[in-house]
Amino acid sequence: MSKRQLAMVMDLNKCIGCQTCTVACKTQWTNRNGREYMYWNNVETYPGTGYPKNWMELGGGFDAAGDLQPGVIPNLEADYGVPWDYNYESLVTSSADHSHFQPHVSPTWGPNWDEDQGAGAFPQDNYFFYLPRICNHCTNPGCLSACPRDAIFKREEDGVVLVDLDRCQGYRYCIAGCPYKKIYFNPKISKSEKCILCFPRIEQGLPPACAQQCVGRIRFVGFLDDEESQVYKLVNKYKVAIGLRSDYGTQPNVYYVPPTESPAKFDAEGKIIEGSTRLPIEELEKLFGPAVHDSIKTLKAEMKKRKETGVSELMDILIAYQHADMFRLDNHYYQEVAKEHKRTPLAPVDTRYIAGKFTKAGGHH
Amino acid sequence: MNKLLTSILSLGFAASAALAANPAISAVKVTDDLTNVDGNSAVWAKAKYTTVNLYPQMAIEMNDKNANEANENNKAKAASVAALYDGKNIALSVKWLDKTKDVQAGYATTTYGDGFAIQFAGITKGAQPLPYIGMGSTGRPVVVHLQKANEKVYEPNGNGDVSTQLNRQQTGVFGKELAEYDAKVASLANKDYERVFVGEGFRSLTEIKDKSVKSNSSMSHDTKGWSGTLVRPLKDDYVNMSGTVPVAIAVWDGSKMGRNGVKNLSSWVAVNLEGQKPNAALVADLTTDAKGDAANGKVALETNGCNGCHQMSAADPKSFMAPSLKDVGGYSTASYLRESILKPSAVVVPGYNRNAHANTPWYNIEKGKRISTMTDFSHLDKKSVDDIVAYLQTLKAEVE
Ligand code: SF4
Ligand code: SF4
């Protein structure tokens, strides 16, 4: 168990499925061959097949007794989708008459293949919502448990789960062990790679790329032991943010505020069915467990309170007026950790979000 | 396997000679310089090939569902092994059946390369007890030479240094520069997947990256299977070979998703350097079966409840309480089996999943050391231990 845990909360009511986060992550981290197919951050349409295809049925995680479950390693072509590219170069260089825009393979599958499809019948009761997913930097990571080479570790200082590429020999048991399929095999270098929660950015005072770029401002970042942080308040104080598929036993540290609002259904005449809601609660229960009921109850109550009294700390947090309200980073803390390990402490490149628990005590430089 | 075992038991072990441990291999002394030897070298005509059986090593079931299914009923593989030495180097040749040639494809997450490894006991004070097979043990290191079948890897610096690998879309070079860049990459891209590791116990296996081991291995495939060769110095910082050299051989089958413990493994095999004085005690240890009555051993083992935690045969239900022993006779020496009964914490296989079985762990970690929860059986009389060891040596899959 790590000393502190860095965590993220994503408010699903606000995700608009724009994939800005996906692109922010992809352009930041696809800096090595073999990573092309990997989406460390992806936004899928729920209900849907997800990415990789049917990830929830591929096993991994732990059973009730705490035993790691066998899993299946997804296939690049069939389950992730070959990342196709276009013939940009020939469009520029060859003569115009027989050159046209075309992908280099005929795509048969890819992330977001079923984007916006959802479930139900249009227009009576169709529904979907967006589910952004990154590695959960689990407290009890399935990936780490599965690795026979001790190549995966959880950082003491902030609980970020990383792969030691020197030790990794590309066995891929981690992929079978992660129930979220959020660790990927790089076939070019025969090693596993994954979301690193942008720790090099965090250490220098910048939130993860996905969180900073998010136009919906759905993502909050902070330390779980920092009572002033938004993640602490959303997860521990108001208990509205819950882990995805906590039944896998990995104790995920990315938390979600469940979607609360959905339009009413229509009847055969196209009239609104009063009091109905399109989003089946069973679906939310499947993703977030029974805690989703209390979460929704609290959210609705606070929403009402805000409407009636104009005051609600929870609503103010969720509105996320400015970035500084959403990220509580702790550069000072990382500087202390660096000193402790006799490393050179990094100066922050951005001081706007540095307001963490330990920063207060020490002051940042 | 079970069938074979029962028939042998019913024969009252008349056929136990058929289960004898691997014979010793003669390393032929040659005057040729072996430094650049590979599978095609003419010098192999001088070698004497010996059959060594490689047993499925599935003591710990990993969490890959498909691999487990593919390897459920694996049999032992017979490999032909020969050795040569020239005074400076030792060369080993291993041939094994494997009809499919598998390489890790550069654009696939579910392909696995065939491969082989040759292991030597590292420098320690006494030759015995030998290090634990595969991973070595504290104070008794092993050196493992691993060769995997591979294909071209797009790798700018050719050193396997992943941090310098570039993404094509981000190289920012065009036209002539890009062509030059590609040419350079192509010239470096044949980086061979040859690795040397040193291990002193489970989870300690570490790659030797400072080039202090000068070895050269290669693989070639024909319709029947693979032939792999390895040349390495008789002496370096890690090993010091003379007289009798204990080696162990492992092969991986990519078509069965083989990697890590999903492999076939020999026991320690004695290689005698011809013309040198063999280590008689070591040869005897590695080539003769335990003196004991296996039928009595089976009874003693059941009386002592060993099968309460260990899976003994493929027919037994899988137990996650302790490593499976269903092929243990194939890849373990009698001394190792004896040691494990008397001192269970001497070598502890880490769990297939270290977070599992919070209530029933098969070991505890005390001061950083794995302490087995198995009680030691040093109170047993010598004969019972001998009998149990003799029985355990019969536990191994049939040869394919
Ligand atoms: S989400 Fe998966 S990859 Fe990330 S820490 Fe958890 S088990 Fe590991
Ligand atoms: S950037 Fe934000 S709003 Fe857009 S898809 Fe990602 S998480 Fe949702």
pLDDT digits (tens, 9 = 90+) for B251-289: 999 999 999 989 999 999 999 999 999 999 999 989 988
DSSP assignment letter at B14? G
The complex's ipTM?
Answer: 0.90
**Single-letter amino acid code for the residue at A172:** R
Whole-number Cα distances in Å, A236 to A9, A70, A223, A240: 12, 32, 12, 8
pLDDT at B242: 92
d(CA B400, CA A131): 50
Share of chain A above pLDDT 90, in %: 77
pLDDT at A245: 97
Task: Compute, in angstroms, the gap from residue A70 CA to the centroid of ligand 1.
Answer: 15
DSSP assignment letter at A151? -
pLDDT of B3 over the 70 cut: no
Please work out whether the CB of residue A17 comes within 6 Å of at least one atom of ligand 2. Answer: yes
CB distance A145–B205 less than 8 Å? no
pLDDT of B140 over the 50 cut: yes
d(CA A331, CA B271): 59
Nearest to A158 by CA among A216, A231, A233: A231
Please work out whether the CB of residue A324 comes within 6 Å of at least one atom of ligand 2. Answer: no
pTM as predicted: 0.90
- Model confidence at A188, pLDDT cuts 50, 70, 90, reads confident
Rounded to the nearest 5 percent, the helix, strand and coil shares of chain A are: 30, 15, 55
Whole-number Cα distances in Å, A243 to A79, A168, A246, A261, B355: 24, 28, 6, 19, 20
d(CA A221, CA A228): 12
Contact, A323 vs A211, CB < 8 A? no
pLDDT of B185 over the 90 cut: no
pLDDT of A161 over the 80 cut: yes
Backbone angles phi, psi at B157, to 5 degrees: -100, -5
* Average pLDDT taken over every residue of chain A: 92
Q: Which of A246-255, A321-330, B97-106 has the highest mean pLDDT?
A: A246-255
Distance, CA of A159 to chain centre: 15
Taking only residues 129 to 168 of chain B, the set having a beta carbon closer than 8 angstroms to any beta carbon of chain A reads 153-155, 162, 165-168
pLDDT at B352: 54
Query: B205 is written with which tokens?
Result: 């296996």
Task: Compute, in angstroms, the gap from residue B2 CA to the centroid of ligand 2.
Answer: 57
Contact, B191 vs B164, CB < 8 A? no
Share of chain B above pLDDT 70, in %: 82
The average pLDDT across B233-255 equals 95
In angstroms, the separation between the Cα of residue A196 and the nearest Cα of chain B is 15
Closest ligand to residue A160's CA: 1
Q: Which of A287-296, B129-138, B166-175 has the highest mean pLDDT?
A: A287-296
- Model confidence at B10, pLDDT cuts 50, 70, 90, reads very low
- Model confidence at B11, pLDDT cuts 50, 70, 90, reads very low
Contact, B142 vs B119, CB < 8 A? yes
pLDDT at B226: 96
The average pLDDT across A88-99 equals 69
pLDDT at B154: 57
pLDDT digits (tens, 9 = 90+) for B20-79: 568 999 999 999 999 999 988 999 999 999 999 999 998 888 899 999 999 988 999 999
Q: Does B368 touch chain A (CB under 8 A)?
A: no
Backbone angles phi, psi at B95, to 5 degrees: -125, 130
Closest residue by CA, ligand 2 atom 4:
A18
Minimum CA–CA partner of A191 in chain B: B162
Q: Which of A8, A19, A45 to mutate to test the pocket of ligand 2 (most atoms within 8 A of CB)?
A: A19
d(CA A115, CA A85): 20
Nearest to A210 by CA among A50, A329, A330, A41: A41
* Average pLDDT taken over every residue of chain B: 85
DSSP for B323-370 reads ---TTHHHH--HHHHHHHHH-TTSS-PPPSSTTS-SSS-SEEEETTEE
Contact, A136 vs A244, CB < 8 A? yes
Which helix (H) or strand (E) segment holds residue B301: the answer is helix B294-303
What is the position in ligand 2's atom list of the atom closest to the CA of A217?
A: 2
**Rounded to 10 degrees, what is the CA torsion of B326, B329, B333, B339?**
50
> Count of residues for chain B?
400
pLDDT digits (tens, 9 = 90+) for B361-381: 788 888 888 888 888 999 999
Q: Does B359 touch chain A (CB under 8 A)?
A: yes
Q: Which of A328-332, B152-156, B200-204 has the highest mean pLDDT?
A: A328-332
Nearest to B386 by CA among B268, B296, B311, B282: B296
Are β-strands A6-11 and A254-257 bridged in parallel, bridged antiparallel, or unpaired? parallel
- Residue numbers in B near A32 (CB within 8 A): 162, 165-167
In angstroms, the separation between the Cα of residue A176 and the nearest Cα of chain B is 6
d(CA B145, CA B236): 14
pLDDT at B365: 82
pLDDT at A120: 94
pLDDT at A363: 46
**Single-letter amino acid code for the residue at B316:** D
Whole-number Cα distances in Å, B79 to A188, B94, B249: 31, 6, 9
pLDDT digits (tens, 9 = 90+) for A189-239: 889 999 999 999 999 999 999 999 999 999 999 999 999 999 999 999 999
pLDDT at A102: 85
- Residue numbers in A near B207 (CB within 8 A): 166
pLDDT at B217: 94
